[in-house]
Structure 1
Amino acid sequence: MARTITVKGIGKVSAKPDYVVFSMTLESKHKDYDKAMDMAADHIQQLNETLCGIGFEKGSVKTTNFSVRTDYDRVKDRNGNYQSVFCGYEVTHNLKLAFDFDMGRLSQALSAIAGCLSHPQLSVAFTVKDATAINEEMLRSATANAKKKAEILCEASGVTMGDLIAIDYNWGELDIYSHTRYDCCEDAMPLMAKSIDIDPDDIDVSDTATFVWEIK
């Protein structure tokens, strides 16, 4: 049976955010299904027109989730029994707007969205535009880390490291976002066309991969 050494490599990468992601939610509710859908359509049209008005291209806002559900209330009747009463159809539209990080552009977009008649719920996150480059650098880092560990262990044990036999890596999606929060109360958002410059915290990404080498 071949002798082997198994080592877990840890890859770490730090990157400066260069991309902004707006996550927005539009909600509409009406007892009539067609009117609820019409309201939802009007809301997204208003949002698109608002953003086009400050220079964003048509189609910049992308849908990440769209759902329609029925809403009921639990109401007690005169006999003390609870019954479900239909309240209407709820339409929820989750959207994303992403653009290159620029403080002036960010403030302008916040101010415009705050004045939009559709009044979307909004959160702001900072990330990188080229996530592939971050992933590749992290994998190279994990590989170099594992190889270095294996070489040290083999040298200390008086054995020779042979050929690489196997690599085990979980290809899950990494969370490549800065921990910086950018919050603003709803009342102040229309004033955000004038805002101070911020420098989002660097993005720190780490992941692991397992390597198996032959021992000669």
Structure 2
Amino acid sequence: MKKALFALGVILASFAGMSAMAQQVGTIKVAGKGEVSVAPNTVTLSMSVESRDKDYTACVTNLNEQTEALKKALRKVGFNEKDILTTNYNVRRETRYNNQSRRSDFIGYLATHYLKVSFPFDKSRLNKAVNALSAKAGQASFNIAFSVSDTEALKAQLAKSAVTDATKKAEALAQAAGLKLGYIQSIEYGNIPVRYSNAGYQFDAEVSMMRKSESAVADINPEDVKNTADVTVVWVVTKAD
């Protein structure tokens, strides 16, 4: 008796599965785009100083003096020495091609020091740093970029937004075709990049020198960090009820 009931159950389950499969009429593949805008909470101030001289020692000494002036300006507005990091330091020979002698003549050395400091975004603190560098840092050039510290949370929001967009598109297409969305068969997505804010601020050495004699102060208010992500979702579609 038990064997008969078991066999009957298997048969009924098979019919149910066949019925469900009979309802499936194919798949639908839709691309979705996610968009998320969030206020930046981290700022990175990238700086560079350079020195040129025919004498190597004089070139490097001058560069180090400029670097110290830059660091001193930042320390005065509350930054610690350990927060000001070197990202690149190089010294190279410069040459100029001589058409008469048909050779490259040595014209001197170029030394460059790249530094950066990152900190939680605070408008007042950033403005103080920018004004201090502009007024005191000599030949320094600097750039400001804004970002979001919790990139994983931002990626999760982007993925959710992209899938939601794909679902809305798929539902509209299925309805137009007289079909109904079934289960998701697959989701494809690549690495979701997190970009810096599109709002960048560049201050070159000439501007910094000019601002030594000016009273204007910087007032920086960054725009939101805008990011996008793409996903491709495949649904099984069935006949509409």
**TM-score normalised by the shorter chain: which range applies?**
0.7 to 0.9
Matched, 1:61 2:81: no
Q: Secondary structure at the match of 2:199?
A: coil
Matched, 1:18 2:28: no
Q: Give the Cα separation in 2 of the matches to 1:198 and 1:110.
A: 9
**Residue in structure 2 matched with residue 206 of structure 1 by the alignment:** 228
Which structure has the higher relative contact order (CA within 8 Å, separation 6+)? Answer: 1
Task: After TM superposition, give the deviation of residue 182 of structure 1 in Å.
Answer: 7.2
Q: Structure 1 pair 63/147, CA: closer, same or farther in 2 (3 Å)? A: farther
Q: Secondary structure at the match of 1:59?
A: helix
* Count of residues paired in the alignment: 211
Percentage of pairs with the same residue: 31
2:128 to 72, 97, 108: 108
Matched, 1:73 2:96: yes
Q: For structure 2, which runs of at least 5 residues remain unmatched after alignment? A: 1-24
Given that 2:50 and 2:139 are in contact with CA atoms closer than 8 Å, whether structure 1 keeps it comes out as no
Letter in 2 for 1:108: K
Given the two structures, how large is their TM-score scaled by the length of structure 2?
A: 0.71
* Structure 1 segments of 4+ aligned residues over 6 angstroms from their partners: none
Given the two structures, how large is their TM-score scaled by the length of structure 1?
A: 0.78
Cα deviation, 1:162-197, whole Å, max 9, x if unaligned, reads 3333333231533230436576942226767x7475
Letter in 1 for 2:97: R
Higher helix share: 2
Rg comparison, structure with higher value: 2
Q: Give the Cα separation in 1 of the matches to 2:212 and 2:235.
A: 57
Q: Give the Cα separation in 2 of the matches to 1:56 and 1:63.
A: 15
Cα RMSD of the aligned pairs, angstroms, is 3.1
Q: For structure 1, which runs of at least 5 residues remain unmatched after alignment? A: none
Task: After TM superposition, give the deviation of residue 68 of structure 1 in Å.
Answer: 3.8
